[in-house]
Amino acid sequence: MASPEGLSATDLSALWVTLKLASLTTVLLLLFGTPLAWWLAHSRSRLKPVLESLVALPLVLPPTVLGFYLLVVLGPQGPVGRLLQSFGGQPLAFTFAGLVVGSTLYSLPFVVQPLQAAFTAIGRRPLEVAATLRASPMDRFFSVALPMARPGFLTATVLGFAHTVGEFGVVLMIGGNIPGRTRVLSIAIYDHVEALEYGHAHRLAAALLLSSFLMLLVVYGLNRRRGAIRR
């Protein structure tokens, strides 16, 4: 049965799973991606090109490839799946937690790269000035670096959220298509098209298209405004 907005109960369920997945994934990416981006922006280690390549790998790797290897690793016969079962848990394949793991890995460059660029743009001078005022490294990071990198955080948040919302290959491979648990909007659109329900598919696809465009418009608009104020 369809809602007044034209969305069925299964579509609304897919919408809720998608929003929950995108929100949780974005929070995790910001928590883990921020220190990684900071290290990449300031490190001179020989491992830096290796880590940068690993972070950027989802940009060029087919989603089904990443999803397949995650399925192998997190499944019942995989090392992580077996480890979890040995402690009385269950494998992460075809669960919401598995979706979070896959989405976090697949959306990693969309958060880390904008943050790395923002930290790099700050330069060393503001941090050196703060150090001369006896600010600790932690204080320099939170009082100087984070406020100056705010546009990068906005971009990273929007890109990470929007990219997670639009995922298909990874979430299908690692999560399957379980209504109410792992069925997200991109899979719901595919199901409607497969069933020749183009009207339902159009409503969902148009909503995703419009919301993604508006999020990007807000990001570019705010960044442009900040750039004009600085000039």
Which residues on adjacent β-strands are paired with residue 8? Answer: 2
Query: For 187-209, what is each residue's pLDDT tens digit?
Result: 999 999 999 998 889 989 998 89
Predicted pLDDT at 220: 82
Predicted pLDDT at 39: 94
Predicted pLDDT at 129: 85
Predicted structure pTM score: 0.88
Query: For 215-227, what is each residue's pLDDT tens digit?
Result: 888 888 877 766 6
**Average pLDDT per consecutive 10 residues, the chain (231 residues; last block may be shorter):** 61 92 96 95 92 94 91 90 86 92 95 94 85 83 89 93 91 90 92 90 90 87 66 53
Could you give the domains of the chain?
9-230 (1.10.3720.10)
